[in-house]
Structure 1
């Protein structure tokens, strides 16, 4: 069974096991990941801009220019500037995208911060795999398995009717532009390895409810079959000097500042907590940490939930799948979507096309 299918098949009972069930570092092992084929690029990415939102217009136009998104793949809509769309507003948006985006568009970038939800669903999941209204009756229950976990190519819309979606979300226009530039700078930088390894930091925490992913952490050391990428298993209350961060995963209500250290372009970072995907929460809020704090710190993409998910492993990124998918050369959009089996409540944010392990394109032949 491929790792993507394996994470989808984890039972709710396993997800609720106490953190003490996690194996000791010496007992952990890598699971076998499926082979992924191809990569979504600017030629297959649709961009949606909200003309009622000055942030969206500025960031969307900047992104289209910097990534070279073809004009026919850019859709302009008018949406209310609030956290959640009604089901009727969502249906209108979904129908506009389905009817106006070219069929070769296999992924979506949403150039805004708000809206990020549809009732208790995330907007990125609702657009990507469909709205799941039943989630609102019991948000801690299992949700539908994302079909994307069982698909390993780069044409999900054409093959399975799924468009993985990510929001170009940051706390300001300059922060969004910096995030976009990090994504662009990431492309191909690790394709041939590196003199010094990029690092995936997996931090165990004393928070038993939020530390459940520790049992999924792979062993420390080099990632098998990947040049220039290593895993470091660390403790959140005794972090080392963190350098060349490409992946940072942990589980806490709030991650102590500073969030890491030296971030590589294209870095992915998230924390398992219930309300990380509430993108309207300011950085000074005393509640649960917003995933946009990771973007502020220097990450290029992140993930969090918009309604109470409980601590089901399937509702959060699987650390092994995230690392191994990204290392195969797919984009941040694809790696994050491959790592989450139950996406209904999760919002994906960041620069979707960042691909540090993507192969360097062959030079055009000399005439």
Structure 2
């Protein structure tokens, strides 16, 4: 299985996936959808009551300044016990802090120096391609993700997909597309080789194509486009991960390029995108082989996605964090 070879993994840790008891859920009491979906998630994942955190963020701003972010982070952290390894923020906006994503600023701290030139390299993540299952214990960082709240019905369906992912392992395919957009195909060098992993019932297809169409077995879909066509023809399996390398996929409500929210709308369970111009460093986007390998090891969606990005300062992680189709 040489097609699953990865960069050297770091930090040994317990071989169990992140659990509901290790996840804090943060609800914005100023947003009704956040309150409703937070409660739905608590019940769906049996989140301990002590792990439910309430804050107030009026006005749903897309971006926070450093001062408001520091106050929000302090408010959240003051309510977390040492057992909490990850944080889920139940809202779509805010999703940025200055030129950083909210999830990266929360987990790694604000990289303010990057904002003078967002095309510069950003702070490396010590969690990149780690074997650790306890990021707070091992690296003093709580990984984070956002659960979008644009629609209660869509949010509930997303949560349901994440939960269902842990109960069955259907035959699936991971698709990696090198498109005609050369600049946005910079991570093609990191694509795994095509092949079959029979014990996981997984086929890997690395292709030269601009899009997929009428495919119904997707567990991973990664491509490089500013807008990804034909999503309405696709079927994503529960727990599917999907993202596109482009400058502003993480500008969730921006509209200049395709928002990463479109992947969730199409049926994916988690995604990633950058909130400010990153230039096309592959290190600022999910490393395809690392992402797939970590997911197949039984990592949850939040763990696999965070472990796949070497320089995550500008990238926002969205979706249902505890989805783990390969945990068994």
- Give the TM-score band, short-chain normalised: over 0.9
29, 32, 48: which one aligns with 2:6: 32
Q: Tell me the distance in 2 between the aligned counterparts of 1:312 and 1:175.
A: 32
Look up the SS of the partner of 2:128 in the other structure: helix
Provide Cα deviations, 1:239-268, integer angstroms capped at 9, x if missing partner.
464221000000001001235522100000
Asked whether 1:247 is paired with 2:226, we answer no
Paired position in structure 1 for 2:186: 212
Q: Tell me the distance in 1 between the aligned counterparts of 2:155 and 2:62.
A: 18
Asked whether 1:293 is paired with 2:262, we answer yes
**Structure-2 change in CA distance of 1:150 and 1:31 (3 Å):** closer
Asked whether 1:140 is paired with 2:119, we answer yes
Unmatched runs of 5 consecutive residues or more in structure 1:
1-27, 360-367
Asked whether 1:199 is paired with 2:173, we answer yes
Look up the SS of the partner of 2:127 in the other structure: helix
Asked whether 1:48 is paired with 2:44, we answer no
Provide Cα deviations, 1:132-158, integer angstroms capped at 9, x if missing partner.
111101100001111212642222112
211-220 or 34-43, larger mean C-alpha shift: 34-43
Q: How does 1:155-174 map to 2 (within 5 A)?
A: 155-174=134-153
43, 56, 61: which one aligns with 1:82: 61
Measure how far apart 1:343 and its partner are: 0.7
Measure how far apart 1:29 and its partner are: 4.4
Paired position in structure 2 for 1:305: 274
8 Å contact kept, 1:170–1:292: no
**Structure-2 change in CA distance of 1:170 and 1:244 (3 Å):** farther
Paired position in structure 1 for 2:311: 342
Asked whether 1:57 is paired with 2:30, we answer no
8 Å contact kept, 2:106–2:144: yes
**Structure-2 change in CA distance of 1:290 and 1:157 (3 Å):** same
Asked whether 1:73 is paired with 2:47, we answer no
Aligned length: 322
Measure how far apart 1:30 and its partner are: 3.9
Larger Rg belongs to: 1
8 Å contact kept, 2:25–2:89: yes
Measure how far apart 1:161 and its partner are: 0.8
Measure how far apart 1:32 and its partner are: 3.3
Q: Tell me the distance in 1 between the aligned counterparts of 2:107 and 2:220.
A: 24
314-323 or 86-95, larger mean C-alpha shift: 86-95
Unmatched runs of 5 consecutive residues or more in structure 2:
none
Look up the SS of the partner of 2:78 in the other structure: helix
8 Å contact kept, 1:332–1:351: yes
Asked whether 1:95 is paired with 2:69, we answer no
Paired position in structure 1 for 2:323: 354
Q: How large is the Cα RMSD of the aligned pairs?
A: 1.8
Look up the SS of the partner of 2:184 in the other structure: coil
Asked whether 1:153 is paired with 2:132, we answer yes
What is the TM-score with the length of structure 1 in the denominator?
Answer: 0.84
Paired position in structure 1 for 2:284: 315
Paired position in structure 2 for 1:6: none
212, 237, 254: which one aligns with 1:264: 237
**Structure-2 change in CA distance of 1:66 and 1:266 (3 Å):** same
